[in-house]
Amino acid sequence: MGELRLMKGNEVIAEAAIRCGCDGYFGYPITPQSEVMESLMAQRPWETTGMVVLQAESEIASIHMVYGAAGCGKRVMTSSSSPGISLMAEGISYIAGSELPCVIVNVQRGGPGLGTIQPSQADYNQATKGGGHGDYSLLVLAPSSVQEMNDFVGLGFELAFKYRNPVMILADGVIGQMMEKVELMDQQPRWSDQQLKEITGSWATSGKSKDRNKHVITSLEMDSHIMEENNLRLQAKYQRMKEEDVRYELIDCEDAEYVLVAFGCAARICQKTVQLARAKGYKVGLLRPITLFPFPERVIAEMAPKIKGFLTVEFNAGQMVNDVKLAANGQTKVEYFGRMGGILPSPDEVEKALHQKLIGG
């Protein structure tokens, strides 16, 4: 059993980064996630593990610092919230195009524009459909507890290096701000020079020694045929993610006639809705996608012909509902319920929507 603590989601991101042996964090303050960098600065990990922490002049700068440092084969990350992630879109596209590993945390707030500092899930499309220019995907993890904020930092780095692809932890203001009990991992050492050589030595910009060719980190290719091949390689990688790394949780789905689909803080509310509905005799279950890309489309396709309908519950105008519809492929009803602007519905409100939209009466 690891050390138990009562912590805020954002603080846990910082703690997990240090403990998993992260090499560097580059960020810019924005509510509701500023505690990530504040915690890191307070802990001064450069004096203990040697982790670099730097406050950049903007999210544009911080993501390109991540690009530079990730190109050195190191484990680096950033965090921000919605408007900051929009500024990072260029850099994220470059990181994906250059096939570099890194972890990006988005503690979402409501938009569009400056929007609100209240929690939201309105960046689902931005996160799961790339977000910047070009055909690329992030591997997107959606934590729904403070414990998962902890676990997904280490898992994020593992997957980022497995695929040499940026991983986004798509949290929201609730998960970032709320305090919960969390079991922390033991302190892991940062990668040694030997490990770095083994894991990233074939591509990292670590200095061109006499015994190897130069390493160039770039997304540029002027030859269309090679550029198409680069794109096909990326697409094959995303396909592999779909085969090997889809993650989701099923709650009370075995006999369910109606299935709620919700991620992050929405899934926490829906868990209670399932209990309320079951207490009244309705067979309701919950499917919680943990990876939003790759999306758990197979399990949805398998369930679709057996149930009476899906209801997605998401704090946006209805974004994930389109992915559920695609996966269900017309085999059952797919409805959406959500609130926007930072409003969170109660479990009763969700239950009411379930009756109105699917069960009837």
21, 36 contact by CB (below 8 A): no
At 231, which helix (H) or strand (E)? Answer: helix 224-244
Nearest to 268 by CA among 171, 336, 360: 171
Write out the residues near other proteins by the rule CB under 8 A.
Answer: 23-24, 26, 52, 54, 56-58, 60-62, 64-72, 74, 76, 90-91, 94, 98, 205-210, 214-220
Residues paired with residue 39 on neighbouring β-strands, in sequence order:
none
Whole-number Å distance between alpha carbons of 152 and 161: 14
* Pairing state between β 309-313 and 333-337: parallel
And the tokens for 199?
A: 């894991």
DSSP 8-state secondary structure symbol assigned to residue 185: P
Whole-number Å distance between alpha carbons of 307 and 76: 43
Q: Which is nearer to other proteins, 56 or 246 (CB)?
A: 56
| Least gap, CB of 130 to other proteins (angstroms) | 16
| Least gap, CB of 71 to other proteins (angstroms) | 5
Q: Which is nearer to other proteins, 23 or 351 (CB)?
A: 23
DSSP 8-state secondary structure symbol assigned to residue 8: E
| Least gap, CB of 230 to other proteins (angstroms) | 14
171, 148 contact by CB (below 8 A): no
| Least gap, CB of 320 to other proteins (angstroms) | 30
Whole-number Å distance between alpha carbons of 351 and 279: 12
Q: Which is nearer to other proteins, 55 or 331 (CB)?
A: 55
| Least gap, CB of 278 to other proteins (angstroms) | 51
| Cα angle, residue 101 at apex, residues 323 and 73 outer, rounded to 5° | 175
| Least gap, CB of 252 to other proteins (angstroms) | 46
